[in-house]
Amino acid sequence: MDNMSQFPYGISVMEITYVVASVLFILGLKMLSHPLTARRGNILAAFGMGFAIIATILFHKKDGEPIGNIPWILAAIIIGTVIGWIIAKKVKMTAMPQLVSFFNGMGGAAAALISMMEFPHVSSDLIARQGMANGQVLAILLGLMIGTISWAGSMIAFGKLDGWIGDLRIRSLKYVNIAILILLIGFIVFIMTRDVEAASELTHWIYIMFAVAVIYGVLFVMPIGGADMPVVISLLNSFTGVAAAMGGFLYNNQAMLTGGILVGSAGSILTVLMCKAMNRSLLNVIVGVFGGGGQSGLEATGSIKEITLSDAAVLLSYSKKVVIVPGYGLAVAQAQHICHELDKILDEKGVEVRYAIHPVAGRMPGHMNVLLAEADVPYEQLIESDEINPDLPNTDVVVVIGANDVVNPAAEDDPSSPIYGMPIVKARNARNIIVMKRGMGKGYAAIENLLFFDNKTRMLFGDAKSSLQNLVNEVKSL
């Protein structure tokens, strides 16, 4: 039974299925915009993908023949589902950025493998009519290049986030990256202008192009460090979406195309927003010339002043407005639940408590939103940094928990700092500042935080989880 004759007007079961799946993707993405609906949105989009896969297995036909290798396909789906389920259940919140990079890389690898497998099978009739310069070949080559870069770059990002790959800082590397990018574009032009009878004659060039794309993906991410990592994760995510969209063009698969477009466009928009939040140029992201780890031209002046738990509890309990600035240290300590307990106790005492969320706090876009949502912190308490900054001069206490670079005044005061120009949470404008840290270690950008030496700053040293628990006990006893 041909799948093109199931409905009137030539509409096939597959086309209806893909339209339904596409609608579910769009609805799911829309629901992700709010924490209260995000879980349902994720499930809805996953159901749409599953629906499209099942329908493809059941109804897809090529030259009148049903799809083959069903046992292998089902086995792969089962194995992938089990592995994904186990990883998702066991991964810690602190490792979520690494998981995002890994999964994103797998999407890029899948797109690249599809291109490598499909290139030798480009229709000879199509080549005879249009030559190699046709849409099918272009989709394959773009999918190969972009998917490979996404895979290689994501694996390097995974290693850097996990701490076992360092930064490679060579000043001339940006020119090398630009040259390699031009070379990759040259490969596409070269392959599409060859006069051949079958694409299989050029398969060896595909493998060479793959190798060059791997090198670019590695070198493109290697120099990136410091607080810039959320930007590159977002960019790589958009790359994977574009690569998947190329597969949608290749197979005339509306669900695959819609999913790829949604991921690619959402990732691109997020990348632009991240660049704005980091005061970085998108061109610099692409050629891989930005990162932390530089030296600051300003010397820290003043002395470090500590505060006791009892004094901190009194200060917080008798305040009117308190703002909490969460950072990666909060995620490391898994202290989000105790932090929420503290804000609830202060709320019962009549203290207005809000959270200042910097767009790139943590190691991935939205890291703090995800962390605090897990602790059931009301979404209304999470305020973006640019919205809360004007009210900080009227704030009695700012409590910085595990955040570093996103509150560092060097971003405003020190032109030689690698984070200069980056919008920050202007914690120093508050009347009092309490910084909770395990020690005087530097942040991800590897520079001194001038906020720690401010006259209004008091340090509360210790693990965030135990410090918050002790602080909660002190506040309760007042």
**Beta strands of 26-171 (E only): which ranges?**
61-62, 65-66
What's at 273, amino acid-wise? L
Q: What is the dihedral of CA 234, 239, 243, 246, to 10 degrees?
A: 100
Q: Helices (DSSP H) in 91-134: which residue ranges?
A: 96-118, 124-130
User: Taking the CB of residue 370, how many other CB atoms lie within 10 A of it?
Assistant: 17
State yes or no: is 413 an active-site residue: no
Which stretches of 279-308 are DSSP H helices? 282-287
Pick the closest to residue 196 from 130, 282, 259, 110 (CA basis): 130
Give the pLDDT of residue 174.
Answer: 80
3-state secondary structure of 384: strand
Give just the sign of the alpha carbon dihedral 45, 46, 47, 51. Answer: positive
At residue 437, φ and ψ (nearest 5 deg) are: -145, 160
- Provide Rg for the chain, Cα atoms: 26
CA neighbor of 433 nearest in space, from 449, 459, 457, 453: 457
What is the C-alpha separation between 153 and 286, in angstroms, rounded?
Answer: 11
What are residue 401's DSSP bridge partners?
326, 436
Whole-model pTM: value is: 0.79
Question: Which residue, 31, 17, 24, 16, is CA-closest to 45?
Answer: 24
pLDDT tens, per residue, the chain with 478 residues? 344 445 444 457 777 888 899 899 999 988 887 767 888 998 999 999 888 888 888 877 766 677 778 889 899 989 998 998 898 888 876 677 888 889 899 999 999 999 999 999 898 888 888 989 898 999 999 999 999 999 999 999 888 887 778 767 677 788 888 899 999 999 999 999 999 888 999 999 999 999 999 999 999 888 876 556 777 888 899 999 999 999 888 888 888 888 899 999 988 888 888 777 666 677 766 655 444 444 555 555 667 899 999 999 999 999 999 999 998 888 888 889 999 999 999 999 999 999 999 887 877 777 888 888 888 898 889 999 989 999 999 999 999 998 888 898 888 887 877 777 788 899 999 999 999 987 666 655 567 788 888 889 999 988 889 999 999 999 998 8
Beta partners for 413?
none
The pLDDT, as a whole number, for residue 1 is 38
- Separation in Å, CA 39 to CA 24, 238, 253, 381: 14, 22, 26, 19
Q: Which of 405, 413, 414, 463 is catalytic?
A: 405
- Please say whether the beta carbons of 371 and 336 come within 8 A: yes
Nearest-angstrom CA–CA distance, 209 and 204:
9
Residues forming beta bridges with residue 432, ordered by sequence position: 397
What H or E segment, with its residue span, contains residue 325?
A: strand 321-326
354: which strand partners?
Answer: 323
**Dihedral pair phi/psi, residue 311, rounded to 5°:** -65, -40
